[in-house]
């Protein structure tokens, strides 16, 4: 995985966390919505566990955000990096 890939992934996770918090959804509630424990959500948010594409879509929709908009925003945020 390239340095850019890691930075882009990190930004995607940051945006998911920001969206979850803006929606006033706890890790416990998000876990319940996607059928996982709070510890799984915590590990995702601290990058101990990686999300695959299907999980990213599921989590985004459980939070109530457009996953494609998050991806686009993350790409824009990281596009100016070397």
User: Where residue 16 sits, what CATH number does that domain have?
Assistant: 1.10.260.40
Q: Is the model's pLDDT at 21 over the cut of 90?
A: yes
Report pTM.
0.90
Looking at the 3D structure of the chain, how many domains does it have? 1
Question: Domain containing 63: what range?
Answer: 3-79
Chain centroid, CA 52 distance in Å: 10
Q: What is the pLDDT of residues 23-77, one digit of tens each?
A: 999 999 999 999 999 999 999 999 999 999 999 999 999 999 999 999 999 999 9
Of the candidates 49, 58, 52, which has an alpha carbon nearest to the alpha carbon of residue 31?
A: 58
pLDDT value, residue 82: 61
Say if residues 53 and 21 touch (Cβ distance below 8 Å): no
């Amino acid at each position: 995985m390239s340095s850019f890939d890691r930075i882009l992934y990190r930004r995607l996770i940051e945006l998911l966390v920001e969206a979850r918090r803006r929606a006033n959804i706890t890790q416990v509630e998000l876990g319940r919505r996607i059928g996982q424990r709070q510890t799984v959500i915590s590990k995702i948010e601290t990058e101990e566990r990686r999300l695959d594409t299907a999980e990213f879509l599921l989590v985004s929709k459980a939070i109530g955000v457009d996953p494609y908009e998050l991806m686009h925003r993350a790409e824009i945020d990281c596009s100016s990096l070397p």
